Structure 1
Amino acid sequence: MGAQPLIEELQQFQLFKGIDPEVLPTLLEVLEQRQYRSGTVLFNQGDQGDAMLLVRSGSIAVFLKDGDTEIVFRNYGRGEIVGEFALLDDKPRSASARAVGDLTVWVLQGENFQQMLKERPIVGVELMRSLAERVRYTTDYLRRLHDAAELLLHQDYERALQEMTASASDDEIQSLINAFLEMVTAIRQRESQYKRVAAPAKIELDSRD
């Protein structure tokens, strides 16, 4: 396959739609193709973030573990990107990811990205600009998540739900919100179960006094 079809494929990724097409051949040079079988864990929460994954086929489920409960934030399919912030902050992964179906990805290693910034700054600047747009893109969700988490700490579940469902229009943010709502529902169910178990015990203790 020649370079042009691959360049056209790169242009389908949201991250690269605003990038000058002239720099994409340079980007292709540092991308590594990898394939994974369905169910393969790509990284775990807490792992050092050192690469960005670009989905060419199959999909990636990003999830958190809450005790025995697995909360899937969303599935990333063809033309979508996972782990882009690893290129910026070099911090541990905030969630886990695994292959859903047989998966083919391009991988941009953090060290290759840093090297590209030094050797070909124009390409690096273009990519940094696009990454910055994605940071702004998630700012609203993160603010709402922080506010809702504060409400959860005070067991104000209804207001937490209202905070996360207000003005939810973007598909990607909406999927994250849905995962948060699922988590709130699970917390409320656990609290109800605890109360049902604890209430008879309290009655029995009171009767002994």
Structure 2
Amino acid sequence: MQYAEAFAVIRRIPIFRALSPGDQKLLAFSSAYLVFEAGEALFHEGDPTDSAYLVDDGLVEVCLHRGAEEIVLGQLGKNELVGEMGIIRNSPRSATVRAVGTVKVLRIDADVFLHAVTSNPDAALGVMRHLSDKIAAITQRYEAIKRHASGWEMPEIVEC
């Protein structure tokens, strides 16, 4: 992927639209365009958090592992950001994220991501809204699974 294409991808993402063109260019210049094949992990639960990923094409699924059991929390697709929670919390990865089919992503280093979103109040607010939406979706999914487990109803699929 060329720099101009990476810049165009970054400009499509709502939380990055608030950034100055210079910060958008820094993100584009310092990003790596990667391709993952079906089943391949972008990262694993417990890994150090060194980057965020912006999905340009395809789907990824977010999974938790408890012993031998795997719980799929949801799927993320085009223009979705994944991995940013660990950067903001300065903690290891809280889930495994893997490709569902071929996935094309922009990998943004943690330091560059943090600089971009903390240097602009509108971008910081965008990240807070984005994270709040993710937490709300995960909470809905958890409640649906809990109701299903107790025999109340079948869980609905909620995208993260």
TM-score in terms of structure 1 length = 0.60
Q: CA deviation at 1:4?
A: 4.1
In the TM superposition, structure 1's runs of 4+ consecutive aligned residues that sit over 6 Å from their partners are none
Structure-1 separation of matches of 2:2 and 2:52: 24
Q: CA deviation at 1:131?
A: 3.9
8 Å contact from structure 1 (residues 14, 80) kept in 2? no
Structure-1 separation of matches of 2:74 and 2:97: 10
Q: CA deviation at 1:125?
A: 0.7
Let me know the Cα RMSD of the aligned residues.
2.9
1:100-149 Cα deviation digits (max 9, x unpaired)? 111111111225557xx4xxxx88613x752453235545xxxxxxxxxx
> Relative CO higher for 1 or 2, CA cutoff 8 Å, sep ≥ 6?
2
How has the CA–CA distance of structure 1 residues 186 and 95 changed in structure 2, closer, same or farther, with 3 Å as cutoff?
Answer: farther
Partner of 1:164: none
8 Å contact from structure 1 (residues 23, 123) kept in 2? no
Partner of 1:135: 128
8 Å contact from structure 2 (residues 48, 91) kept in 1? yes
1:81 has 2:81 as partner: yes
Q: CA deviation at 1:84?
A: 1.0
How has the CA–CA distance of structure 1 residues 70 and 86 changed in structure 2, closer, same or farther, with 3 Å as cutoff?
Answer: same
How has the CA–CA distance of structure 1 residues 3 and 67 changed in structure 2, closer, same or farther, with 3 Å as cutoff?
Answer: closer
Q: CA deviation at 1:30?
A: 0.8
3-state DSSP of counterpart to 1:85: helix
For structure 2, the residue ranges without an aligned partner over 5 or more in a row are: 152-160
3-state DSSP of counterpart to 1:93: coil
> Percent identity over the alignment?
25
Structure whose residues are more often strand by fraction = 2
Structure-2 separation of matches of 1:131 and 1:123: 5
Matched residue count = 151
1:35 has 2:35 as partner: yes
For structure 1, the residue ranges without an aligned partner over 5 or more in a row are: 140-169, 190-209
Partner of 2:155: none
Partner of 1:46: 46
Structure-2 separation of matches of 1:58 and 1:137: 20
Q: Equivalent of 1:176, from 108, 122, 138?
A: 138
Partner of 1:6: 6
Q: CA deviation at 1:32?
A: 0.9
Structure-2 separation of matches of 1:185 and 1:67: 22
Larger radius of gyration: 1
Structure-2 separation of matches of 1:100 and 1:137: 22
1:130-176 Cα deviation digits (max 9, x unpaired)? 2453235545xxxxxxxxxxxxxxxxxxxxxxxxxxxxxx6x55642
Q: CA deviation at 1:55?
A: 0.6
Aligned pairs (5 A) from 1:152-171: none
Partner of 1:72: 72
